[in-house]
Amino acid sequence: MKIFQRRSLRSDGFASRIRGLVFTFFLAVSFPFAAQAQTLLFSSGFEPNTTLRPVAQIDCFSTGCWQYIDGSDLSTTSTWPPNIWGGSPTAIQLLADHAVDATTVRDYAFNQILNVTGHAGSSTRVLYSQLAQSGCCGGGSQEAVAGATQNAFQIQPVGETSDLYISYWLKFQPDLDKQLNPPNPNWRYLFSWKTGSPGGVNDGDYRVVVEVATWCLGGVPFCWETRGDNNAGGDPYVEYWRVQNTAVQVPVGQWFKFEVFWHRSTGNDGRYWAAVNGQVIVDRSGPNKIDKSINRIFVSNVYGSGPYPMYQWLDDLKIYDGFPLDCTDPPCAPH
Query: How does DSSP assign 288-310, residue by residue?
Result: --SSPPEEEEEEEEE-BSSSSPE
Q: How far is CA 4 from CA 13, 15, 121, in A?
A: 14, 16, 73
99-138 per-position pLDDT tens digit = 999 999 999 999 999 999 999 999 999 999 999 999 999 9
Q: Where are the alpha helices (DSSP H) in the chain?
A: 2-30, 176-180
User: What confidence score (pLDDT) does residue 3 get?
Assistant: 37
User: What confidence score (pLDDT) does residue 24 get?
Assistant: 39
pTM of the model: 0.88
Which residues have a Cβ under 8 Å from the Cβ of 325 and sit 6 or more positions away?
33, 37, 38
Residue ranges for the chain with pLDDT beneath 70: 1-37
What is the Cα–Cα distance from 222 to 305, expressed in whole angstroms? 13
On whether the CB atoms of residues 70 and 48 are closer than 8 A, the answer is no
The one-letter code for the residue type at 47 is E
What is the Cα–Cα distance from 290 to 71, expressed in whole angstroms? 37
